Amino acid sequence: MWRPSAGRSPRLQVGRLLDAELQKFDLQIYQLDELTGLLREVGFTVTAVHADYEAGRPPTADALQWTIEATAR
């Protein structure tokens, strides 16, 4: 799923914010099976998937982050 998104790019000088620019971009959102499938398709073996930076925690629908461990074949 594609979704429009935006982010701020700050311009700093000696730690002071001079200004910030809003940058618009398209964000691609993947389901877990789509993302692991793409990794396998390009030659990786997925060895583990963790949720919210906790090793061993399985990914769930409410997880904010996924960490995917994979090795090149």
pLDDT, position 72:
95
How many structural domains are present in the chain?
1
What is the span of the domain harbouring residue 61?
Answer: 2-72
> Where is 13: in which H helix or E strand?
strand 2-13
Q: What is the spatial distance between Cα 27 and Cα 24, in angstroms, rounded to a whole number? A: 10
The pTM score is 0.64
H or E element at residue 70: strand 66-72
Q: What is the pLDDT of residues 13-65, one digit of tens each?
A: 787 878 777 778 888 888 999 999 999 999 999 999 999 999 999 998 889 99
